[in-house]
Amino acid sequence: MKKILLIVIFTPFILLETGAKKIYHYVFKEATYMAIRQANNRRKLTGYKQVVMKVGGWPRIYRRAEIKYLYQRGTFKKGMSLDEVLSKALYITT
């Protein structure tokens, strides 16, 4: 039963993309899930809000205070507000 379910879920994915692109998307999805799990664990341990962002093509975990510090230093594009930076995040812990 599980094999049939997997075929139904992944059939459109396989038809739309081929080769290395398909592998990249699968690996990126798994890396994102792992980063979200780690962010939730860090939130439980430290109590700080964690932000998962795509940096250099891969998900990275930052504290929200670090994002504020990077914003104040001018790391992000000019004209971008802090709210816009946080809206581009993949995940923010509550």
What are the structural domain ranges in the chain? 17-92
At CA 17, angle to CA 14 and CA 30, rounded to 5? 75
**In whole angstroms, what is the distance from residue 53 CA to residue 21 CA?**
21
The angle subtended at Cα 59 by Cα 67 and Cα 17, nearest 5°, is 145
Q: N- to C-terminal Cα distance for the chain?
A: 36
pLDDT tens for the chain, 94 residues long, are 444 444 444 545 555 556 788 888 899 999 999 999 999 999 999 999 999 999 988 999 999 999 999 999 998 888 899 999 999 999 999 8
